[in-house]
Amino acid sequence: MPTIMIVDDSNVIRNRITRGSENIELEVVATAGNGKDAVKLYDLLRPDLVTMDLTMPEMDGLECIQGITNINEDANILVVSALSDKATGIRALEYGARGFIYKPFSDEDLFSALKELLED
Amino acid sequence: MIGSLNPLVRSPMQVVNDAGVKETRYLDFKFNRVYQDKEISRVLVSVSDATDAVKLEEKVQHEREQSDLQLEMLGSILKADPQLMADFIGNTKNRNQNINEKLKEPAKVQSDFYNKLSFIFREVHGLKGDASSLGLQGFVAIAENLEHTLKDLQGKSKLVGEDFLPLTVSLEELYNLTQAIGDLSQRIAGGSNEGGRPVVSTNAEPVKNQLSKFVGEIAERNGKQVDFSCIGMDNVSLNIDTKTNLRELAIQLLRNAVVHGIETPNLRSSHHKLATGHLRIEMAEKNNSVFMSVEDDGAGIDLEKIRQKLLEKGMYSADEVADMDSKTLIQHIFLSGFSTRDQSDEDSGRGIGMDIVHERVKEMGGKLSIATRTGAYTRFTIVVPKKY
Amino acid sequence: MKEDDLQVFLTGVQNYFTQMAGEEVFVGTPYLSENTMPAAQEYSGVIAITGRHKGIVYFTSPGDMIRRLLVLMGEPDISESNMMDLVGEVANTIAGNARKKFGERFEISVPFVIRGAPDEIMLPRQNRSFVIPLEWKMHKAAIVVSFHKD
């Protein structure tokens, strides 16, 4: 089963993405509430997929993406964020994210995005 | 010479910045010739970014415009009687609050929404009249904008909360402007104040002066000649509420008299009347009641026009309308939305002047009566209990 | 504040409810509130705005509405901690979505969730805020917008 790590400062969102991941047979190996923890956990566990929020305390999502791609430039990161300006979207991809879905998202939005990332 | 030929000064250019976003920057291009053996071998182009200077100038320009508006208002404040200005500010603060409270009220069914519109319209219309009589164009502009939006909304077949957003935005402008004018007023009062004595108005008849000015302006705007007499408006002592209400009613009636009542000089002459019309407002008290009358020697109430309007609105059939006597016809001008004038402008239209008057007099516990003769005169008389 | 600036938040909250609750939220007629008496329900999720604009945006809601939303999302744990979490997340989502219009210079903080209304530090007492009243399943909530362009 492919593995996934969920990064978001909201517990409610972490739980939701967890439930969603389990529904499409992904194993949730870790969750993190800030970028710092996420980078450490990534290094330790090397999950196949990562979902990444951008607005987080201590270390924000973009810095975290940098941290993770430094460890593994092929890291499969899906940004899940409310920040809807074009510049942020472009920057996230430049930093190394492989996909982007906007909050508020439906379960379908999440599933298709995750599936797409797995296929690549 | 190359400098003066150069059109590329502060040229706006679309540039993609570091963050990947397109933005407009203002660039200066300078051209310099490079000579070699007395011939021009190259032209050096230097580019510099003048965006900050441009943005600063825009800001200064904007602030200058704001200052002009403030200066204009300042002029009006200085000209007006301090008591009248204070009344206006107090009134307007109340109006703003009333409008806001109405917006705050929960609304579920469609009629709730439409009622809000009507209520707000009445407040705004009153505000427009007050502001206009004091020459406060800033307020008049906002009020007209509001009336425009309100009219559009009233015409919609279905209303939602979202539709009211422009009203709230305009209301904030009103709050800010009221605040600004209040501050300015206070500073002026403070300035001409020595040792903290209250400012005494050197104007013995402020209401008469304000109304005379008001009538003069409306007459000019509408091409009428009016001889205005004002009796007793400053003499009768009243509480603030009654004073305010009657003054607002006076403004409505006087405006109607000049706009609808008194005819143009040409028309008057052709009817063997003096070119200058007469308008008289009088206030007196008797037996715990206050009487206020507004009389003009104009065209009188045009009963035919009322008949026409009633027919147009589909309210009655041609037979019913022909049968109506003058008294019944006159009663109809108190209906909301009724106006025999076709377009609206700062001075009238939108057909709500008379219905406000009627309602307001009723609210005050008073009576409104009309006497008129077609082609000759119109007289409105209001009687209200003094203690109201 | 201009009309289309406020419209962004109105549309944002409508979008949120349509997406997350599967139905339309009822929007009432917007009004102003004096910051001496800010509009507030039980919980407020506050987002501080910095950058080109300065001020705050907050989503204020009764506990019952939040509990309902949690259940709708499939969250089994409806503790107060999760309730406050969701209030913050709603505010964050709406503020983040506003960047579609305002751009990246509209910088938003992580959400700050409190009981009742934001205090004086967040809402300068002499100003006014715009309140967009909401109603969903008989519960009343609001989005309150209080910022200005610098």
**Burial of B68 (C-beta count, 10 Å sphere; 0-12/13-18/19+):** exposed
A95 phi/psi in degrees, rounded to 5: -70, -15
H, E, C per residue of B189-214:
HHHCCCCCCCCCCCCCCHHHHHHHHH
**Model pLDDT for residues B22-69, shown as the tens digit of each residue:** 677 888 888 788 888 878 888 888 888 888 877 777 777 777 776 776
Q: Which residues are bridge partners to A21 per DSSP?
A: none
Is the separation of the CB atoms in A56 and A34 below 8 Å? yes
Please tell me which of B7-11, B251-255, C16-20 the model is most confident about, judged by mean pLDDT.
C16-20
Band of the pLDDT at B233, cuts 50, 70, 90? Answer: confident
Mean pLDDT in residue range A16-33: 96
Q: Please report the domains of chain A, with CATH numbers, ordered by start residue.
A: 3-119 (3.40.50.2300)
Query: What number of other Cβ atoms are within 10 A of residue A116's Cβ?
Result: 12
DSSP assignment of C5-33: HHHHHHHHHHHHHHHHTSSPPEE---EEE
Cα nearest neighbour of C26 on chain B: B161
Please answer yes or no on whether B172 and C130 come within 8 Å at the CB atom.
yes
**Closest of C139, C122, C37 to residue B97, by C-alpha:** C37
pLDDT at B337: 63
Query: Is 80 exceeded by the pLDDT of residue B249?
Result: yes
Token pair 């109340």 in the structure block, residue: B94
* Chain C residues closer than 8 Å to B150 by CB: none
How would CATH label the architecture of B206-385? Answer: 2-Layer Sandwich (3.30)
**Chain B: residue whose CA lies nearest to A86:** B21
Question: How close, in Å, is residue A90 to chain B by CA atoms?
Answer: 8
Residue among C70, C93, C109 minimizing CB distance to A103: C93
What pLDDT digit, counting tens, does each position of B184-208 carry? 888 777 655 444 444 445 566 788 8
- C36: distance to nearest CA of chain A, Å? 30
Interchain contact, A84 vs C100, CB within 8 Å = yes
**Quick check: C89 and A12 CB within 8 A?**
yes
pLDDT at B33: 81
Shortest distance between the Cα of C49 and any Cα of chain A, in A, equals 13
Tell me the per-residue pLDDT of C18-45, one tens digit each, with 9 for 90 and over.
Answer: 999 999 999 999 999 998 888 999 999 9
- Relative to beta strand B39-49, strand B277-286 is unpaired
Task: Report the residue of C29, C52, C139 to disrupt the B interface, i.e. the one with the largest count of B CBs within 10 Å.
Answer: C29
Residues from B in contact with A at Cβ < 8 Å:
19-21
φ, ψ for residue C28, nearest 5 deg: -85, -175
Q: Please tell me the pTM assigned to this model.
A: 0.68
Q: Considering only residues B67 and A30, tell me which one the structure prediction assigns the higher pLDDT.
A: A30
Q: Which chain C residues touch A105 with a CB distance below 8 Å?
A: 19
Q: How confident is the prediction for chain B on average, in pLDDT? A: 83
Count interface pairs B-C at CB distance under 8 A. Answer: 55
Tell if the CB–CB gap between A86 and B19 is shorter than 8 Å: no
Residues in C closer than 8 angstroms to A88, CB to CB, are 99, 104
CA distances in angstroms from B48 to B10, B31, B51, B296, listed in the order given: 9, 12, 9, 70
Nearest to C19 among A10, A57, A106 (CB): A106
B19 CB within 8 Å of a chain C CB: yes
Smallest Cβ–Cβ distance between C128 and the set B160, B162, B172 belongs to B172
B173 closest CA partner among B201, B144, B134: B144
Q: For residue C50, is pLDDT > 80?
A: yes
Whether B169 and C10 lie within 8 Å, measured CB to CB: no
pLDDT band, very low/low/confident/very high, at C132 (cuts 50, 70, 90):
very high
A68, A50 Cβ separation under 8 angstroms? yes
Say which residue, A50 or B3, is predicted with more confidence: A50
Complex ipTM: 0.94
Residue B162 forms contact with C (CB below 8 Å): yes
Compute the nearest-CA separation of A107 from chain C (Å). Answer: 10
Question: Model confidence over C54-74: pLDDT tens digits?
Answer: 999 999 999 999 999 999 999
Q: Does B136 touch chain C (CB under 8 A)?
A: no
Query: Which of A9, A10, A12, A81 would best serve as a mutation to test chain C binding (most C beta carbons within 10 A)?
Result: A12
Give the pLDDT of residue B74.
Answer: 79
Q: Where are the domains of chain B?
A: 2-53, 66-191, 206-385
pLDDT of residue B193: 47
Looking at residue B79, its pLDDT comes to 78
pLDDT-derived band at A92, boundaries 50, 70, 90:
very high
Residue of B256, C92, B145 lying closest to A81 (CA atoms):
C92
Indicate whether B342 pLDDT > 80: no
Q: Which residue of C has its CA nearest to A59?
A: C110
Contacts of B21 in chain A (CB under 8 A): 86-87
Which of B21, B160, B175 is nearest residue C32 as measured by Cβ atoms?
A: B175
Please give the class, per CATH, of domain B66-191.
mainly alpha
For residue range B257-279, list pLDDT tens digits in order: 999 899 999 999 998 888 999 99
Percentage of residues in chain C with pLDDT exceeding 70? 100
Q: What would the mean pLDDT of C83-102 be, rounded to a whole number?
A: 96
CB contact under 8 A, A57 and C110: yes
pLDDT confidence of residue B161:
95
In C, what residues contact A, Cβ < 8 A? Answer: 15-16, 19-20, 70, 73-75, 77, 81-82, 85-86, 88-89, 92-100, 102-104, 106, 108-110
Q: What is the mean pLDDT of residues A83-96?
A: 95
B partners (3+ CB pairs within 8 A) are A, C
Q: Does B95 touch chain C (CB under 8 A)?
A: no
As assigned by CATH, the class of the C3-149 domain is: alpha beta
